[in-house]
Structure 1
């Protein structure tokens, strides 16, 4: 796919984005959920080798290429890796009609003013150019909102846009992900503040350019409809945020125009011991359910 084809797929594709971007901090938990315990690998290299095997199994499964997965977010080591037949992962995804994205954030600071801002992203421009060389369409970066603190949320959203504009200047489409924690005691108020500040920040996006937004499914259905309809937003996608797949799909289906970008909720039923048929059937069932929730408002 060329850039225009990828843009059209992101704007209008009837499917969802798979989040396969677990990094160092979240990889052990992802492997444990997959049935690979910490005593089965030693050191970071072996850990990433095991998660790469899992990701390769996912992206090469027949059900992953059935047209319902329209995008996939990759960790840098996954982007640079290959499948068993030597195909670079982004190239394989593109051949299967799946738009590749790269996770570019480097983790978060401790909480301050009710939010966790992103740590600096060194060599961002170099990462963007490397990603373009692999045929990647866009990027993703995550920060977290824990409380309805206006000052903190304003800073959080502004930081996301600051980096997003740099990514746009490098020819990629950024996914901004200021996640509102499901555990927040002031979640609804935080979501309302997020909406206000994101609408303000979108004024900074140059005419003719677009960003994407990855947001927690709101407690009030269709709260983010102004973002869905905004001319500078290519697509609004939702994270599962700790919900089970059934819960995430139920809540997502209440929001018109928002599609899924699930990680845990997509992968929760996959286990290393499954044979290929069992694995593909379990993955296919999850894909069907998530795609349905992405397309059919309740």
Structure 2
């Protein structure tokens, strides 16, 4: 079962969750943002080694600790790797940061205005591995592009079905039905998603909890009742293409939501920085996101 100290931290501590879970499709973009061009590697193994070096540098930075970063979401290869000779999940928890694992295998092609998750036939085995490595919870992402009631219902139904499977392993599932912030029907997507999430949460057994990772809504505090729902441990916000300043500004309008940013956290980091410059840039980002999450 989940570590009680980790559960307490995720439920009550001030701070935010770092998203360090870029996978195969998004890794080249993450590396470009880090200042590593695609001609710096010739195959997937070299690419993943470079992104692992970046993540290791982040999680071992003096400013990356549980005082402000209360959790971190990892890619499967990162979970299996080491940082300073210590397994990454163990290293994180030694620093007071709760480890999560991205478990989805990417997105289906868009249909009915949404992108469902691809099948995950090895999910049970992956969850078992995660438990053995000290992982507290999981994260899985779907995307909503249009205000399609049937499509959004399908997204929520799939997310909660997989969450139930994950919960049987004693892991805390983070449900992430991202609304595309560039959608022309963004506000309507948010409203439909809210109602579907509320219905699904109301149907959960008493005492069964999930976490929600949601796009920052067009209408401030739209999700306030979900933040307070007894079946929700925490509601976190993704940056979804906003710059860090934009994401933090929008987040402060939504009480009770904390950040779970990826690009907005990493946007100022470059591979050729010396340690002092790197730690200063990361520390500044952590401080800004922490303040927005505490508002």
- Say if 2:64 is the partner of 1:69: no
Q: Structure 2 vs 1, CA of residues 67 and 191 (structure 1 numbering), >3 Å: closer, same or farther?
A: same
- Say if 2:107 is the partner of 1:108: yes
Q: Is the 8 Å Cα contact of residues 165 and 205 (structure 1) preserved in structure 2?
A: no
Once the 2 structures are TM-superposed, how far is the Cα of residue 206 of structure 1 from its aligned partner? 2.3
Q: Distance in 1 between matches of 2:226 and 2:120?
A: 26
Residues paired across the two proteins, number: 294
Q: Distance in 1 between matches of 2:26 and 2:238?
A: 15
TM-score (ref. length: structure 2)? 0.98
Residue-by-residue CA offset, 1:174-194 (whole Å, 9 max, x unaligned): 000000001111010110000
SS in 2 for 1:165: helix
Task: Report the aligned-residue RMSD.
Answer: 0.8
Q: Distance in 1 between matches of 2:104 and 2:166?
A: 12
Residue-by-residue CA offset, 1:88-118 (whole Å, 9 max, x unaligned): 0000000111000000000011111110000
TM-score (ref. length: structure 1)? 0.98
**Which residue of structure 1 aligns with residue 165 of structure 2?**
166
**Which residue of structure 1 aligns with residue 78 of structure 2?**
78
Moved over 2 A (4+): 203-206
Q: Distance in 1 between matches of 2:201 and 2:265?
A: 30
Once the 2 structures are TM-superposed, how far is the Cα of residue 203 of structure 1 from its aligned partner? 2.8
SS in 1 for 2:86: coil
**Which residue of structure 2 aligns with residue 29 of structure 1?**
29
Q: Distance in 1 between matches of 2:111 and 2:13?
A: 38
**Which residue of structure 2 aligns with residue 45 of structure 1?**
45
Alignment of 1:147-296 (within 5 A): 147-296=146-295
Q: Distance in 2 between matches of 1:8 and 1:65?
A: 16
**Which residue of structure 2 aligns with residue 11 of structure 1?**
11
SS in 1 for 2:99: strand
Q: Distance in 2 between matches of 1:40 and 1:191?
A: 40
Q: Is the 8 Å Cα contact of residues 19 and 74 (structure 2) preserved in structure 1?
A: yes
Residue-by-residue CA offset, 1:151-195 (whole Å, 9 max, x unaligned): 000001110000001111111000000000011110101100000
Alignment of 1:81-92 (within 5 A): 81-83=81-83, 85-92=84-91
Unaligned runs of 5+ in 1: none
Once the 2 structures are TM-superposed, how far is the Cα of residue 207 of structure 1 from its aligned partner? 1.7
**Which residue of structure 2 aligns with residue 95 of structure 1?**
94
Q: Distance in 2 between matches of 1:9 and 1:135?
A: 15
Q: Distance in 2 between matches of 1:170 and 1:82?
A: 24
